[in-house]
Structure 1
Amino acid sequence: MTSSTPLPPEGHGLPQEIIDTIIDTVSDSTTLKACTLVRHDWLPRARQNLFCELSFPPATLRGEERWRSDYEEVLRSVVMDVAHSNIKPPLSAAVRRLKLHFTDTSSELGFLEITSQLPFKNLHAIELLDSDLYRFEDHDQDALFLFLRENPSLKELRLDGVNSEPKKFLHFFSRLAGLQLQLRSLYLNDFFGYHDDYHEPESTFLHSLPLLSNPPALQTLALHDVSRTEADIFVIPLLTTPSRFFDLSCLQSLEFKFPFIESDEAILKMCGATVMRFTIKGIAHRIHDGVILEKCFHHLSNLVRLELHSVHPDRHGIVLLLLEHVPILRRLGQLSMQFVKAPSRVRDSSPPYTSAEWALFGEGVDSKVDQLMQTSNPSLKHITLDIPCSWKNVTEERIREYFPKTNSKAVLEVFRIQDS
């Protein structure tokens, strides 16, 4: 097969579309940086990956005191450097993900006004960390939304460590939903709300927000570390009022933190039928409610992939509870379990387990997983176990011995991953 793309002058190179694919696959890594030193013609395409994400301030300097006191000045210098850079393609086009870490004083320093001057026009994702939405006045939000308006390709918003008041929180998302119609992913993590002075009836305030004829249709939603109070006052109104915020009727991927609470079940009742991928994180708590769990799983009638992340050793009771409810998911095709790193001490084992194997698969977890491959889940075809490298005495060969039914059907995958 011949290619219409001409080869480089050396005559032994690859077609440009293959080179571009290689660069995009390698993405942002030291390997790509090394390649660009040898092949300068790779540089323009490589820059799109090497500079695809900008995080301010950099992680290596985030803890230094001078960054806290000179935050506004340093950010302003970044704005000037990016705006006047001669790099081709320009950084304003190459940067597609922007991460902004707030400080204790940044909200009071006109932080958002400075941010609005960043010359980025091609952002696909924005992440705000440790932000205080309740301290943003209207002119601050105006500056932020002016910046968002300049990025029509924005698909993802992440808020991590968010503090807010109910009215300002809902007002913020009302403006966001009305402006960013193409938004498809929303992540709320470690959310804390100020609501002691919130006395206005919920319906009265919600009805004061504008109606949306074409609200953004979210495809991915993640909620982590949201308490019952915050869920009732902030999250439920946000996610159950599509005429004023977001449409969840096409939601495909959903992430919750374990254990589930009543608001989780309310959200799943509304959108669970369309969810294809469900991720449960933080499986470390001893407290759980089997009734809520069962209700949640019943709403996931078309779920194809279930992922259990941050599974802690010695939480056999919780893992068994989850596995006992997996047969409810009749269309489940893939089950993934990702374990956390090994603790300094693991429980004493019972033969034939080693102590490490007992911590992972004791109390019948292994047999419960193996039973899933029988008639209870006719669609289940793949089970994946991600075992951190710190579990040194747990070998793939030994693991497969504990899952004879699953292993005999050649559907068990075992990966060794770096400790998170």
Structure 2
Amino acid sequence: MDTLSSDSLDLPQEIVDQVIDDVQDDPPTLKSCSLVSRIWLPRARTHLFREIKLLPNKEERDSDNVENFRARLQTLLAATSSSRILPALTDVTRVLTIDLSRLYSSTEVLNGLLSHFPFTNLTELSLRGSPDFPFQQTPLGCHLRKNPQLVSVKLTAMMFNNIIDFLELFTKMSSHTELRSLSLGYIYMNHRPEEMRDGLKQFNLSLPSLSRHRPRLGCLQLGAVWGMPDLLTEPLFTHSHSIFDLSSLHTLDIQSFGSLGRYSGLCDAIGRNITTLKLCFGKHNLNPSPDTWTSFKKLRRLQFLILHDQDREVITKFSQLISQALPLLPRLQHFAFGFYFYQTPNSYDFPEPFWNDLSTELDPILAELPAKNEWLKDVTVNVPPEYNPGEETLRTFFRHAYSLGLLNFCFDVLAYPLL
């Protein structure tokens, strides 16, 4: 198809932009728009390349084909740098996602990749590597400095040589005043605890010089941070001169195999401002003290995702937790819970026994909630697809809570985001 001249469609630029904006979520149509004329190309290109995702295909994931993926990326970067088409990709790309979690030697590839990235206008950056090899913070630190407009940063499955390397990376973000959302999932430290303590003492002495214009976060997501997360929260979040300012934090999402008690210092420091709390824990961690819950005086929305290993004790502990915690949250309006089954079913081969056990303990507790939480509007049960007996059966199991008009059932897959 021949590209039409710019004179062939005598339309005002405002109308052209509106037409293209209306199909911004339809890549095939956007590609067609980019071929209409020169005045259609810039707007279409802006939408087409606003978000870039880099991940290996199935053939490139094994050790013999890593070089194929590396070569493909180098070709992409070379084309990006040499292209004369405007606007340049480095100007229009706002969201960059790199997922190398299933790539052999992913850390080596990621370290080399970040050193050559030309992007300078990113607002969202998501990196997922592999915890098998140490990650070099210098390439990422340089990339962060080149993108001062970052609003959201997500780092998952990365190992650092030591705690100083880890913390030094975040000092590169201390001047990112636009940053509002930070997500850390499965961060590993190749460091003994006593060495971590010594390193923290040294680092904390330098904190006052970093705090002039700190990023003020609104959302914080923490997965498993191996290596004493209770110590890391101080320089990152709770120290008077911490790297990040949490005074405006409204959403806290903790997904960890560790106890919520390990984040008690964080909860005490910021709980009073939190309006949305999301928690993901296993049975051994469903025992935070009542003092933890009293920190969340303004909490409006609470969501639990429970890691279920087919042990009925999970249900008992969760029921006890709910009966203790919810009455301490006077402004709670929305409560949701679900279960993530990470072992092959054995105790519950069919959905009915699971829901019978769960509802026997939970239905009376849920039915009493309106009297204890006068602001409560709804309770949502996220139903695992492998344990879905049908809505009519669920209504029967939770008949007391459902009769109050309190209960909703959600059949969407509730994933474990940082797993």
SS at match of 1:287: helix
Offset from partner CA, 1:210-246 (integer Å, 9 cap, x none): 332121111111111234x421443333222252411
In structure 2, C-alpha distance between the alignment counterparts of 1:331 and 1:296, rounded to whole Å: 16
What's 1:6 paired with? none
Pairwise CA RMSD? 3.8
SS at match of 2:179: coil
Q: Which amino acid aligns with 1:173?
A: F
- How far did 1:307 drift? 0.9
| Paired residues of 2:158 and 2:188 also in contact (CA < 8 A) | yes
What's 2:329 paired with? 329
SS at match of 1:214: coil
What's 2:348 paired with? 347
| Paired residues of 2:286 and 2:321 also in contact (CA < 8 A) | no
What's 1:169 paired with? 166
What's 2:188 paired with? 192
What's 2:279 paired with? 280
1:407 aligns with 2:402: yes
Matches within 5 A, 1:41-60: 51-60=49-58
Q: 1:16–1:37: structure 2 CA closer, same or farther, 3 Å change rule?
A: closer
Matches within 5 A, 1:245-284: 245-257=243-255, 260-281=259-280, 283=281
- How far did 1:87 drift? 6.7
Matches within 5 A, 1:393-404: 394-404=389-399
| Paired residues of 2:107 and 2:129 also in contact (CA < 8 A) | no
In structure 1, C-alpha distance between the alignment counterparts of 2:241 and 2:91, rounded to whole Å: 34
Q: Which amino acid aligns with 1:226?
A: V
Q: Which amino acid aligns with 1:332?
A: L
1:366 aligns with 2:363: yes
- How far did 1:271 drift? 0.5
Offset from partner CA, 1:156-209 (integer Å, 9 cap, x none): 1112112121122122212321x3222111111112112237263633432134
What's 1:5 paired with? none
- How far did 1:399 drift? 2.0
TM-score relative to the length of structure 2: 0.78
1:303 aligns with 2:317: no
Matches within 5 A, 1:141-180: 141=138, 143-164=139-160, 165-177=162-174, 179-180=175-176
Matches within 5 A, 1:67-106: 67-69=65-67, 72-85=70-83, 90-100=88-98, 101=100, 105=105
In structure 2, C-alpha distance between the alignment counterparts of 1:186 and 1:419, rounded to whole Å: 21
Matches within 5 A, 1:113-124: 114-124=113-123
TM-score relative to the length of structure 1: 0.77
Q: Which amino acid aligns with 1:369?
A: L
| Paired residues of 2:219 and 2:251 also in contact (CA < 8 A) | yes
Q: 1:48–1:336: structure 2 CA closer, same or farther, 3 Å change rule?
A: farther
SS at match of 1:236: helix
* Bigger mean CA offset, 126-135 vs 158-167: 126-135
Matches within 5 A, 1:217-236: 217-227=216-226, 229-236=227-234
In structure 2, C-alpha distance between the alignment counterparts of 1:348 and 1:73, rounded to whole Å: 48
In structure 2, C-alpha distance between the alignment counterparts of 1:128 and 1:237, rounded to whole Å: 22
In structure 1, C-alpha distance between the alignment counterparts of 2:244 and 2:121, rounded to whole Å: 23
| Paired residues of 2:164 and 2:199 also in contact (CA < 8 A) | no
In structure 2, C-alpha distance between the alignment counterparts of 1:226 and 1:333, rounded to whole Å: 30
SS at match of 2:155: strand
SS at match of 1:154: coil
What's 1:213 paired with? 212
- How far did 1:304 drift? 0.5
In structure 1, C-alpha distance between the alignment counterparts of 2:85 and 2:341, rounded to whole Å: 42
- How far did 1:121 drift? 2.8
5+ residue gaps, structure 1, are: 1-8, 10-14
Q: 1:68–1:233: structure 2 CA closer, same or farther, 3 Å change rule?
A: farther
SS at match of 2:126: strand
In structure 1, C-alpha distance between the alignment counterparts of 2:279 and 2:50, rounded to whole Å: 29
| Paired residues of 2:145 and 2:172 also in contact (CA < 8 A) | no
Q: 1:149–1:191: structure 2 CA closer, same or farther, 3 Å change rule?
A: closer
In structure 2, C-alpha distance between the alignment counterparts of 1:106 and 1:348, rounded to whole Å: 38
- How far did 1:154 drift? 0.5
| Paired residues of 1:56 and 1:99 also in contact (CA < 8 A) | yes
SS at match of 1:153: coil
Q: 1:38–1:204: structure 2 CA closer, same or farther, 3 Å change rule?
A: closer
| Paired residues of 1:123 and 1:154 also in contact (CA < 8 A) | yes
What's 1:384 paired with? 380
Q: 1:230–1:61: structure 2 CA closer, same or farther, 3 Å change rule?
A: farther
- How far did 1:295 drift? 2.3
Q: 1:39–1:98: structure 2 CA closer, same or farther, 3 Å change rule?
A: closer
SS at match of 2:381: strand
In structure 2, C-alpha distance between the alignment counterparts of 1:310 and 1:54, rounded to whole Å: 33
Identical-pair percentage: 23
Offset from partner CA, 1:135-170 (integer Å, 9 cap, x none): 566xx72x5444323323211111211212112212
* Bigger mean CA offset, 56-65 vs 244-253: 56-65
Q: 1:104–1:346: structure 2 CA closer, same or farther, 3 Å change rule?
A: closer
- How far did 1:128 drift? 2.5
| Paired residues of 1:212 and 1:243 also in contact (CA < 8 A) | yes
In structure 2, C-alpha distance between the alignment counterparts of 1:108 and 1:408, rounded to whole Å: 57
* Bigger mean CA offset, 297-306 vs 94-103: 94-103
* Bigger mean CA offset, 239-248 vs 295-304: 239-248
